[in-house]
Structure 1
Amino acid sequence: MEKTDATHIESASIEEDFKNGTQITITDPEKASGELMATAEELYPSVDKKKLLRKMDFHIIPMLSLLYLLCFLDRGNIGNANIEGLSTDLNLTGEQYNMALTVFFFTYAPLEVPSNMLLKKFRPSIWLPSIMVAWGLVMTLMGIVQNYGGLLATRVLLGVFEAGLFPGVAYYLTTWYCRSELQFRQAMFFSAASVAGAFSGLLAFAISKMRGVAGLEGWRWIFILEGIATVVVGFIAYFTLYDYPETAKFLTEDERQYIMYRIKFDGQSSSSAVAQDDSMNSKYLWDAFKDIQTWLHLGLFWGIICPLYSISFFLPSIIKNLGYTSSKAQLLTIPIYIVAACWGVLQAWLSDRLQKRSIFVAFNLCCMMLGYILAISISAAAHPAATYVGCYLAAFGIYPAIPGIISWISNNVSGSYKRAVAMAVQIGIGNLLGAVSTNIYRVQDKPQYRLGHSVNLGFIVLGFVCLVSLRIFYTRQNTLKKERLASGYYDSMSEDEFAQLGDRSPYFEYKL
């Protein structure tokens, strides 16, 4: 990186300052000398970047993916249980099944922001496994509920304890990986959601055969066995989940310093080296709420999350109502999720390699729109294959889009406390749409489900509007920063003021 202080800073001096926690910043942009600041590779020549990334991936991603696979499995398996007799055995009437889906979000969505703040305060290796064990116990108890009230209570508690996992892990990854590496890792983690969809159908098909064992219905065993598996993995996670680079035992001291140095200066343009203020200052909480990009990203998230939950909760029912048996409907969900998972990882790799975010998300929205238009416009009764293909197209767009938009906001919000809050706002308030998605696929609308498909189309259009608005906003802000820097607008700023600017710094370039 080019440095902008007239005084040459030796590499050894930078390394010493960094290790001691000294703020490294630029105080006079006008005095740019064009000399190069030391890079992480120059400061730590013994560290092999590619080898280190492989080591990080091996130690971090598999456990996170397993956690989220079980999280999404436990959240969505009620759809599989329902076509195995849940509503019939619990005597659910009218919209009671839909309400059981809805109440999950009444606790899930509001608790995501507080959970991310607690994750920032406490250790991930304690917080994440603890909430996992708790929701695993709730899931197990769901297998013995006897009435509508018991089902509602367990769904509410499931939302309480699952709230912290997705926003927590999404933020946690930003403390390990740079912006250019993030989406691929987010996709590997989130692909567990689509794998969970496939796994859920396969498990439900197998577990439902236990009907009558211990006098229990097959759908009860779906909840009990998957809940027990979650509890077991949660206990294992206490010992296998790492906190942050500075305390990770699988890293050498040079590797720890290398990672922290890269993260500290990630996102800065080549003309500076401005270390952001990462303190837990309430100022950054309000900065996140006041930043327009937080709310535009929320609108974009809404455009994808409503279709996501619709697929998760209703895909088995949609396919069954095309004329298939329950068992065959369970199996027919599997290839849809597998295709979505594979494309999600490939798209993320391409996005990181090309350093483009919005163009891929736009492609995802187009696939989703085409899928829902196909499902609406062609008769499901006369041409069930068209609806099934529409489900493929929708999932093909939905599952890769989530890591894309999560990576996009994490790339463009700095420092770490503001980023944690902004991501939790996006995901937390965004998940309120789950309460909408659980009520738009009504029994009386089968097999065409025009209402549900139409509502999802409306949110996809909202996503397009927010995506275009974000591109305009980021492009304008990048241009404005350059103009202000050239005009001397920042000349009078102190070191502390520069450190507190975060993504508003003239040296921070928004990614498109």
Structure 2
Amino acid sequence: MFKSDSDGDTEKQNIDVNVESIDELHPILSTVLSLNGKVIHVHDDDADMAMKYIDDINNFELDPAYEKKLLRKIDWHILPIIVALMSCQLMDKTTNSYASIMGMRQELNMSAKEYSWVGSSFYFGYLVFQYPANRLLQRFPLSKTLSTAVIIWGIILMCHAACTNSAGFLTCRVLLGIFEGFMNPSYILLTSQWWRKSEQFMRTCIWWGMQGFGTILGAGIAYGLQVHRGGHHEFASWKCVYIITGCITIFLGIISLVHIPDVPTKAWFLNEKDKLYVLERAKENQQGFGNQKFKMSQLKEAILDPCTYAFFFYGMSYAIPNGGFTNFGSILLNGDFGFSTADALLMNMPGGGIDIIIPPMVALINYYCFNNQRLISMIIVNCIVVVGMCLLNFTHHKGSRLTGYLSFYIATAVSAGVCSTISSNVAGNTKKIVVNMFYLVGYCTGNIIGPQTFNANQAPGYSGAKAAMLVSFAAGTIIVMYLYGLYKWRNIKKDKMVAELGEKYKVPDNIAFADLTDIENPEFRYSL
């Protein structure tokens, strides 16, 4: 049923064109009038990978009961692997926070300033390699590229235990950042491949929020080593943290390699009927499975699109507090709040629990109370976090300050929402790759800045860092409001354009799998 030959190209052409030499080589599949008034001719080499299956789903109707069973099958086969990798990713990043109060800084003769750069150096690697990572994910099979990066990242993590000085440790952090840079763009691409737009916010909240399980597991491992093993062995307990988490990462990388298909139509767990349903569901998204061709026109559109910069600045606004909490969370709990070393490790667990529970809860409330308008939910949640940061900054009671501290974890629901917005509202494979890159460059920049806001002279309260967190979350709220207004205006503009054309407007042939951008595709509507 699923064929990759091109014998049917002649039959696929439903449009009368003057055939020139280029059209003989790459036949026109569709002609489109875009939102900005351009006439776009889509040739077969421009199309999405899913286009070769278009004949199989013409006049195909979905059975809602069967689709519901298929959705459960996709959820159970794809979501747990993304969740496990996401948990492992955060667990690996927070190992520094645990190791820092388990003797690592003393054993490596690491100054306070050098430790600040431990957090930032990871994101230098992440930042520098963002373009190559995203390009490799577009050019090569998605699952194999992701899994290879995970396995290498696990090996590098274990190498941390062999470090004997700050320079070696910082080098390991840079290399770790390079290979962890494959993770988030991969998850966003996988989400856009497998789930409808209306389903993506909930799934993103689950896999992004489940990083909290990594926090709980990592804190539990560190606590067990600290309490039951102590720091007086020849092989220090903080080194065991990196060995254990590295082994877990390598194991999950191997599982990912054999389990996750590169595209849904190659899924080992789907039958032929399932694959037809997956294609039809992707067609309704007006997005397919990707195109390996890098398109300069989509690069130009991404650079000129103000949404791209909104994602960049939101990534930075979220990551400045994130970079601080990831590396200094345990230090704050130990020094500012007065918890013992063991208790400070345990106090990371409530934040992990919030990460797990709140994002899916927000997605459910969004679905039932806000008509699935995720951006409205994200604005409300970020406002709550701003109030929490005010408690952390301006109150003196330990309980209220701790409430403010823990409110940071609620923002996970907003960052998950931004990832799902990129997944569903940015179309065109090259454009999605570029916007992904901008968002993650902003995320890296914020995570580089975050640890630097913790000035050793302000210890243990770190008032400057707390103020930076408040400003960052306030700015993030404004950015999400801007995205909501811009997307709503664009939907109105598209509807108006189609209405003005009236009967003259006909849905362009094969438009869903033409690998058009969200602006180029007149059938595309932004999810609010």
- State the 1:303 CA deviation: 2.3
User: d(CA) in 1 for partners of 2:182 and 2:403?
Assistant: 34
- State the 1:113 CA deviation: 3.3
The residue number in structure 1 matching 2:261 is: 242
The residue number in structure 1 matching 2:328 is: 314
Q: Find the residue that maps to 1:250 and give its secondary structure.
A: coil
- State the 1:301 CA deviation: 2.5
The residue number in structure 1 matching 2:518 is: 503
User: d(CA) in 2 for partners of 1:277 and 1:485?
Assistant: 27
Q: Find the residue that maps to 2:262 and give its secondary structure.
A: coil
The residue number in structure 1 matching 2:376 is: 359
In the alignment, structure 1 residue 301 sits paired with structure 2 residue 315:
yes
In the alignment, structure 1 residue 441 sits paired with structure 2 residue 458:
no
In the alignment, structure 1 residue 423 sits paired with structure 2 residue 436:
yes
User: d(CA) in 2 for partners of 1:276 and 1:195?
Assistant: 30
Amino acid at match of 1:181: E
In the alignment, structure 1 residue 387 sits paired with structure 2 residue 401:
yes
In the alignment, structure 1 residue 375 sits paired with structure 2 residue 392:
yes
- State the 1:90 CA deviation: 1.1
- State the 1:189 CA deviation: 1.1
The residue number in structure 1 matching 2:102 is: 84
Count matched residues.
478
Amino acid at match of 1:158: L
Provide, for residues 318-345 of structure 1, a one-character-per-residue CA deviation record: whole Å limited to 9, x for no partner: 1111111100111112112202320112
CA distance 1:352–1:178, change in 2 (3 Å): farther
- State the 1:152 CA deviation: 0.9
CA distance 1:207–1:241, change in 2 (3 Å): farther
The residue number in structure 2 matching 1:168 is: 186
- State the 1:278 CA deviation: 4.8
Question: Pick from 203, 208, 227: which aligns with 1:185?
Answer: 203
Question: Pick from 341, 345, 348: which aligns with 1:330?
Answer: 345
User: d(CA) in 1 for partners of 2:104 and 2:92?
Assistant: 15
Q: Find the residue that maps to 1:215 and give its secondary structure.
A: coil
The residue number in structure 2 matching 1:409 is: 422
Question: Pick from 472, 477, 484: which aligns with 2:497?
Answer: 484
- State the 1:267 CA deviation: 5.1
Amino acid at match of 2:389: Y
User: d(CA) in 2 for partners of 1:363 and 1:244?
Assistant: 36
Amino acid at match of 2:111: T
- State the 1:57 CA deviation: 0.7
CA distance 1:451–1:130, change in 2 (3 Å): same
CA distance 1:420–1:135, change in 2 (3 Å): same
CA distance 1:404–1:110, change in 2 (3 Å): same
- State the 1:481 CA deviation: 1.9
Provide, for residues 328-382 of structure 1, a one-character-per-residue CA deviation record: whole Å limited to 9, x for no partner: 1111121122023201122123335532111111122112211111111123xxx
Q: How does 1:145-164 map to 2 (within 5 A)?
A: 145-164=163-182
User: d(CA) in 1 for partners of 2:172 and 2:290?
Assistant: 41
- State the 1:85 CA deviation: 1.2
CA contact (8 A) 1:113 1:425 kept: no
CA contact (8 A) 1:174 1:182 kept: yes
Q: Which deviates more, 148-157 or 488-497? A: 488-497
CA contact (8 A) 1:176 1:245 kept: yes
Provide, for residues 369-425 of structure 1, a one-character-per-residue CA deviation record: whole Å limited to 9, x for no partner: 11111111123xxx32222111122212x2111111111222211133322331232
TM-score by length of structure 2 reads 0.83
CA contact (8 A) 1:195 1:338 kept: yes
CA contact (8 A) 1:131 1:164 kept: yes
TM-score by length of structure 1 reads 0.86
Provide, for residues 258-302 of structure 1, a one-character-per-residue CA deviation record: whole Å limited to 9, x for no partner: 21222123159xxxxxx8995623322332222111111222232
Identity among equivalent positions (%) equals: 23
Amino acid at match of 1:62: P
Provide, for residues 168-209 of structure 1, a one-character-per-residue CA deviation record: whole Å limited to 9, x for no partner: 111221111111011111122112322212222111101233
Question: Pick from 325, 329, 340: which aligns with 2:355?
Answer: 340
User: d(CA) in 1 for partners of 2:260 and 2:348?
Assistant: 31
Amino acid at match of 1:328: D
Q: Please give the root-mean-square deviation of Cα atoms over the aligned residues, in Å.
A: 3.1
Q: Find the residue that maps to 1:441 and give its secondary structure.
A: coil
Amino acid at match of 1:206: G
CA distance 1:286–1:469, change in 2 (3 Å): same
The residue number in structure 2 matching 1:229 is: 248
Q: How does 1:110-129 map to 2 (within 5 A)?
A: 110-129=128-147
Which structure 2 segments of 5+ residues have no match? 1-7, 14-26, 36-55
User: d(CA) in 1 for partners of 2:342 and 2:135?
Assistant: 43
- State the 1:110 CA deviation: 3.0
Amino acid at match of 1:104: F
